[in-house]
A and B are shown apart, each in its own frame.
Chain A
Amino acid sequence: MKKNPPIVIVDYGIGNIGSAIRAFAHFGADVLISDKSDDILSACAIVLPGVGSFKSGMNGLEERGLIDVVSNFASKGMPVLGICLGAQILLSQGKEFGVHNGLGIIPGNVVDFPDLDDKEKIPHMGWNALHRPLEDSWDNTILCSTKKGDKLYFVHSYILQPSKKDNILSLTTYGGYEFCSSVKAGNVYGVQFHPEKSGKVGLNIIQEFINLSKGELI
């Protein structure tokens, strides 16, 4: 019997990918850690983890010749999950330490938090709730088992600002400001929070992404 292709966790030199690997391994998923274009092209899904600056993330992909590889993979309708920085670089531009081009898979920018209520600190670090933009926004998505108000772990100073409302998968409020905490375009997902660090609620999201990679998302 032919072996199914693995989920590739793209190691593009950005921060700590160990926790993402452990979370996928927890479900017994067949996971390959790689920075090779051949592995990505033959994957059933890819994950872009990472914590760091927008520029360092794009540089990491560029140095490995992966920018077009990842874009092409996504444009074929294959499942992609970007986590934190990995979600931010899915957008067109990042405005952190200057303006930098992103992958442009989802139109929009990555920008600073605006002025927040005085007590709130940047980075936004800790647990915060997800809300649905529309009642049915999470149906048939990797958030299908997430409940409104479920809390996930965030660590970030910049926010996703997709230009199309259709791409907003969830909203979160911090310091009185409501921001987009995850994006979706077809099978491409970007989550600002860390599902691999968010207890059971986060693991469920990873489980749904694994299901999606097998074509079994309900």
Chain B
Amino acid sequence: MTQKNIRIIPQLHIKGNNVVKPVQTDALRVVGNPQELAYRYYQEGADEILYMDIVASLYQRNLDFSLIKSVTQDIFIPVTVGGGIRTLQDIHNALHSGADKICINTYAIHEPLFIEKAVKEFGSQCIVLAIDAKKQQSGKWEAYTDGGREPSGKDVITWIKEALDLGAGEIYISSIDRDGTRKGYDLDLIKAITSFARVPVVGHGGAGDLESILAAVSEGQLDAVSSSSIFHFQDFTIVQVKEYLHENNINVRLV
């Protein structure tokens, strides 16, 4: 069992100037203001924040760098930014706007070598591969692009292995089937990845009760757990999640 501190990462899905919550990708609910939510999570002891522009990728738009700047202004923890990243200049701009890491999904699937280019320029610690995984009847998972709308034809496990060879420094795995359901993380999916990945793996999609988060860490062997619903809708605070994990012998950073 690892002794490392498990990170808790709230995810902000950004649309325009709002944080929204997609429920299985199609329905959207406005949750709040990005600056306020990010600051609240920072104060509550989030270990990192994931800022995901869900529109930029879908409509081939650029990230709103001024919004990133205002969201990260008073946040002194790592911030990962994703959504619509297609060029090295996009990455440069995001980093200069306050991001510490970049997360790439759709464009990496279309242009896998972009991962290698980005890693050479910015280092693998900066390049996170995001995957939206959907379970197939075969029992395997397919990677989806464009905010979980388009099947890519790529098998999730094969794709991760390819991306790791290209230098991706972290894996952010989301389960489309579980996102927003609170039915627990897809442990089979998570275990299929953590069993071989030698980079940190962050899991998203399905956090429900505290036991489901513990299972994702102890059984799933995740390095970090991400959720949006349970934090946005205040099922639990970050402190409650951390205290529960701590009581169950998982190392966390308590602030």
Contacts and interface: CB of A to CB of B under 8 A. Distances in A.
A185 interface: no
B97 A18 contact: yes
B205 to A, nearest CB: 21
B76 A126 contact: no
B74 interface: yes
B20 interface: no
A197 B7 CA distance: 14
A97 B138 CA distance: 44
Interface stretch (A19-27, A59-67, A68-76): A19-27
Contacts of B123: 15, 51-53
Contact of B96 (A16, A123, A127, A200): A16
- Most chain A beta-carbon neighbours within 10 Å: one of B74, B125, B126, B200: B125
Nearest to A174: B4
Contact of A126 (B73, B198, B223): B223
Given A197-B77, A199-B76, A202-B76, A18 B200 contact: no
A96 B224 CA distance: 28
A75 B76 CA distance: 31
A32 to B, nearest CB: 18
A128 interface: yes
A202 B253 CA distance: 13
Nearest to A51: B123
- Most chain B beta-carbon neighbours within 10 Å: one of A119, A125, A174, A197: A125
Given A15-B123, A26-B74, A198-B77, A151 B5 contact: yes
A196 interface: yes
B98 interface: yes
Interface of B: 1-2, 4-5, 7, 42, 45, 47, 72-74, 76-78, 95-100, 122-126, 169-170, 198-200, 223-224, 253, 255
17 contacts: A15-B123, A15-B126, A18-B98, A19-B72, A52-B123, A121-B198, A121-B200, A125-B125, A125-B200, A126-B223, A151-B5, A153-B78, A155-B125, A194-B78, A197-B77, A197-B78, A201-B255
Given A18-B98, A197-B78, 14 more contacts: A15-B122, A16-B95, A16-B99, A22-B73, A26-B74, A119-B2, A120-B2, A123-B124, A126-B223, A127-B253, A174-B4, A199-B42, A199-B45, A200-B76
